[in-house]
Amino acid sequence: MNIMQCTFCKKPFQSLGGRICPACMEQIDKDFVTVRDYIYEHKHSNIDRISKETEVSKQIIMHLLKEGRLIIDSPDGDGLLLCEMCRKPINTGRLCKDCTGKVASSMDKNVSDNKKPEPKAEVPNIKGSAKING
């Protein structure tokens, strides 16, 4: 069992692989519903206003955006989230559409590049077992 520090409340907890403690997970799930409903009614909102009106911390909203669970439909992305590759503002996830495409196609390349002819290993033909004794 790994002891991890929760990303949100900074308390140590027993992790099964995640970085968020069960208490925060529960809170995030509740907040997710709150924020999702808020965004549903206020499509062109921004993170500051959402945080103020819903009383959900910005950190949690950002987390949900990065996970792709929330999408803020603002025209310029409000500079909330930036593509991790080209730093273009995005509304959800970690990469913009262009970079997602690039990553996907470079992965395809790697797969096809993998077909290298393997040199035949020559197995020395040893007949019998020689006794080497000094």
For 119, the token pair is: 């040199």
CB of 49 to Zn ion, least distance (A): 25
Q: How far is the CB of 108 from Zn ion (least distance, A)?
A: 18
Q: How far is the CB of 70 from Zn ion (least distance, A)?
A: 19
Nearer to Zn ion, 69 or 99 (CB): 99
Q: One-letter amino acid identity for 91?
A: N
Q: Which is nearer to Zn ion, 32 or 39 (CB)?
A: 32
Query: Measured from the CB atom, is 24 or 81 closer to Zn ion?
Result: 24
CA-wise closest residue to 32 among 4, 9, 66: 66
- Give the helix/strand (H/E) hosting 53: helix 47-54
Supply 5's token pair: 């520090």
Q: Hey, how many other C-beta atoms are within 10 angstroms of the C-beta on 112?
A: 7
| Residues paired with residue 14 on neighbouring β-strands, in sequence order | 3
Question: Which CB atom, from 63 or from 70, has the smaller least distance to Zn ion?
Answer: 63
Residues within the interface to Zn ion (CB under 5 A): 6, 8-9, 21, 24, 83, 85-86, 88, 96, 99
Smallest distance from Zn ion to CB 73, Å: 19
* Phi, then psi, of 122 in degrees rounded to 5: -85, 120
